[in-house]
Amino acid sequence: MGWLIVIALCLLYFVVLGGAQLYIWIRMALDGERPRWMVEVSGVLACTPEAAFALVGDPRNDARYAPQVVAVALDAPGELRVGATYRETIRIGPTTGTFDCTITAYDPPRAIDTRATFARRPLFGGYRVEPHPDGCVLTSRSGSTWTAAGIALGGLARLLTRRACRTNLGRIRAVLEAPVRATGGPDRDPNIDQSAR
């Protein structure tokens, strides 16, 4: 009896996985690319939109709020712009991995979007900054393309990504609001490159 349940569960899994792959093939035929998913998490920060964008709008600042970032190197010196590329090395457990990244949208001090490739898989991310009476609203965005296994697992990747976005938002808040707490005003953090405007 136990074997029948195991066989039935395996068949169900492969039917769901096959259905998910069929969905991806249909979407690719219609749209020309794999369907994407995106997670967005927002929070109000006690700083100016310009100060927030100065931090998150320049990938070279990523290590200030993302401890997993080991190094960021622009491929060509100069101002940040759409099409600029950079390599980001991050710590993944006991090892490191390198992402090849491209800035796909850049609108200081409102928005930056990036596309990264890691292990041949595209990853999308970025930030939106909007004015708010108490400072600004920062929205962290992150996502990727769907895979059959990702659809079959019911969004586990989205759940983990949402958690990571919330953690990053908390770290960004700590960096940006530290000068406010220390001085009682919205002073800019002198350790943040302010030229990314």
Q: Is residue 96 part of a domain?
A: no
Instruction: Please list, in sequence order, all residues whose beta carbon lies within 8 angstroms of the beta carbon of residue 125, skipping any fewer than 6 positions away.
Output: 113, 114, 116, 140, 141, 142, 143
CA distances from 98 to 68, 75, 86, 118, 191 (A): 12, 13, 10, 7, 25
pTM exceeds 0.75: no
Q: What is the mean pLDDT of the chain?
A: 79
Q: Which residues pair with 116 in a beta bridge?
A: 101, 123
Task: Give percent above pLDDT 70 in the chain.
Answer: 69
Alpha carbons 39 and 124: distance in angstroms, whole number: 10
- 54 lies in which domain range? 35-67+106-183
Could you tell me if 47 and 29 lie in one domain?
A: no
Q: Answer yes or no: is 62 within a domain.
A: yes
Shared domain for 114 and 26, answered yes or no, is: no
**63 and 153 share a domain?**
yes
Residue 166 lies in a domain: yes
Are 40 and 28 within one domain? Answer: no
Q: Can you tell me which residue has the tokens 């490159």?
A: 193
Any idea what the CATH number is for the domain that residue 171 is in? 3.30.530.20
Same domain for 56 and 29, yes or no, is: no
In a domain, 191, yes or no: no
- Count of structural domains within the chain: 2
- Tell me: pLDDT of 155 over 80: no
62 & 7 share domain: no
Q: What is the pLDDT of residues 11-40, one digit of tens each?
A: 555 555 555 555 555 555 555 565 677 889
Q: Which residue has the higher pLDDT, 33 or 192?
A: 33
Measured distance CA(179)–CA(189) in Å, rounded: 6
Domain membership flag for residue 197: no
Mean pLDDT of the region 45-54: 95
Question: Would residue 43 count as lying in a domain?
Answer: yes
